[in-house]
Amino acid sequence: VRRISEGRNPPFDAEQLEHCREEETWHTFRMNHRFLITEKNIVFDPITHAPVPQLFSFRQHAQIKENHRLLSIIIRYTPPETYDPRFVLQEAIRKLPPVLTARDWRKLHSELEALSAHFAACDPPDYDRCKITEHAARVVDDMVQSNIDQLAVMQWIAEGILDRKQHRSYMRHVLRRQEELCAMKRKYEASMKKRLDDLREAIAALESLEYPGPIQVQAKRMNVQLWFNTIRDKMKNTSKKSKAGSAYCPSATFKYAVLVDREIITKLSPSVTPDVMVNLFVTFTLRKDNSWQVVFTHRVQKVEQLVADFVIPKEELLHVRRLPPQATYGFLKSASDPNGFVEVNVLPFLQALDQVGGQEA
């Protein structure tokens, strides 16, 4: 088990393996591996990691619709084991000529041996039928020695024929429904293709602002002005003109008391006295390199006095944006003001800068 699992954990724990080692009884089984070639729906089982048909794979999560489990697996016909004696006898009767008339095991065994000798004596010998007949004769001999009821064998063969007939009717019904589903799928794909084509044409019309050719011809014939053409020409002319205010930098001035009320500024340097704070104004200006210039001025009777002037580089602003929203941050730090000339709440401060920077738009 460990050798064929190739390092994966097999679905047997250590106790089970140890128990198997202690047992003297050997359990042998034979796997018909033809499904590795013929099966179309091979999947890797999530437990054993082995390639198995989808029908044998454990499904961990069933599909659910409206609290009901959906079973989407097609019921498959499970043929008898190839080495089942009853199946061997059934296949022999099906493949051999309809000459068997026996109604008990011993007479059937004699007829099979006679048929085997007949096929071997043919010119040229029919080795295939001879092999089938000899195998069937050995199976009949084994069933005679095992006292197997011949009526039970015949009943098993008859029930198998009925099961295959019912499954054939079921598969015909499935194929009919599958054809209907395929037709609906093709119809849906055609509908989606048409919608995608219409959407592409609409996108192209929006990008070019041009009417389709037939509409332009008909409008020209009826002397109708198409407004899309006028809008397109205006847009082209506007794009060629330079903007007069292209050098404008967004800026806004706030009174210090307003910034404190809005909880943008939490603390100011002790060097600024309360009488200065009464008429203190703060100006924020967005520069072309995406940095911010902050100017504190004291205004009394139309006289302005500079209190502080500093620049917030875009790198420092990016660092501030990475801080938690409830954090505080100090600008213009110095030996006299180790915590900064001004301390702000991060979230309200960034919102105010974004509001000022978006005024241009």
Domain boundary among 107, 131, 148: 148
As a whole number of angstroms, the distance between CA 234 and CA 156 comes to 88
Q: How many CA atoms lie within 13 A of 267 on its CB side?
A: 15
| Block residue for tokens 């119809």 | 187
Closest residue by Cα to residue 277 from 309, 307, 312, 303: 307
Q: How many CA atoms lie within 13 A of 11 on its CB side?
A: 7
Q: Do residue 265 and residue 340 come from a single domain?
A: yes
Per the structure, the count of domains in the chain is 3
Residue 136 resides in a domain: yes
Q: Helix or strand or coil: residue 18?
A: helix
Could you tell me if 160 and 90 are in contact, meaning their C-beta atoms sit under 8 angstroms apart?
yes
Residue 238 resides in a domain: no
As a whole number of angstroms, the distance between CA 343 and CA 59 comes to 60
**What is the pLDDT at residue 308?**
93
The sign of the CA dihedral 102, 106, 112, 117 is negative
Residue 350 resides in a domain: yes
**What is the pLDDT at residue 44?**
74
Question: Which tokens hold the place of 213?
Answer: 């050719």
Helix segments in 146-212, DSSP class H:
150-208
The CA-based diameter of the chain, rounded to the nearest angstrom, is 133
**What is the pLDDT at residue 159?**
92
Domain boundary among 45, 70, 95: 70
**What is the pLDDT at residue 38?**
72
Residue 62 resides in a domain: yes
As a whole number of angstroms, the distance between CA 349 and CA 267 comes to 13
Question: Which tokens hold the place of 250?
Answer: 């967004």
As a whole number of angstroms, the distance between CA 360 and CA 82 comes to 83
Distances (CA, A) of 12 to 57, 140, 308: 17, 40, 76
In single-letter form, the type of residue at position 209 comes to L
Q: Do residue 94 and residue 60 come from a single domain?
A: no
Q: Do residue 102 and residue 46 come from a single domain?
A: no
Q: Do residue 15 and residue 43 come from a single domain?
A: yes
Residue 186 resides in a domain: no
Could you tell me if 202 and 212 are in contact, meaning their C-beta atoms sit under 8 angstroms apart?
no
Could you tell me if 224 and 217 are in contact, meaning their C-beta atoms sit under 8 angstroms apart?
no
- Opening angle at CA 326, ends 321 and 330, nearest 5: 65
**What is the pLDDT at residue 361?**
35
**What is the pLDDT at residue 180?**
85
Q: Helix or strand or coil: residue 254?
A: strand
As a whole number of angstroms, the distance between CA 282 and CA 257 comes to 10
**What is the pLDDT at residue 281?**
94
Mean pLDDT, consecutive 10-residue segments, the chain of 361 residues? 54 73 67 69 72 68 55 70 88 87 87 90 89 91 88 91 90 84 89 92 77 82 77 64 59 92 93 91 91 93 89 92 91 89 93 78 35
Q: pTM score, two decimals?
A: 0.35
Question: Which tokens hold the place of 32?
Answer: 């018909």
Domain boundary among 35, 70, 105: 70
As a whole number of angstroms, the distance between CA 140 and CA 137 comes to 5
Q: What domain range includes position 121?
A: 85-148
Q: Do residue 36 and residue 121 come from a single domain?
A: no
Question: Which tokens hold the place of 280?
Answer: 């203190």
As a whole number of angstroms, the distance between CA 177 and CA 185 comes to 12
Q: Do residue 341 and residue 258 come from a single domain?
A: yes
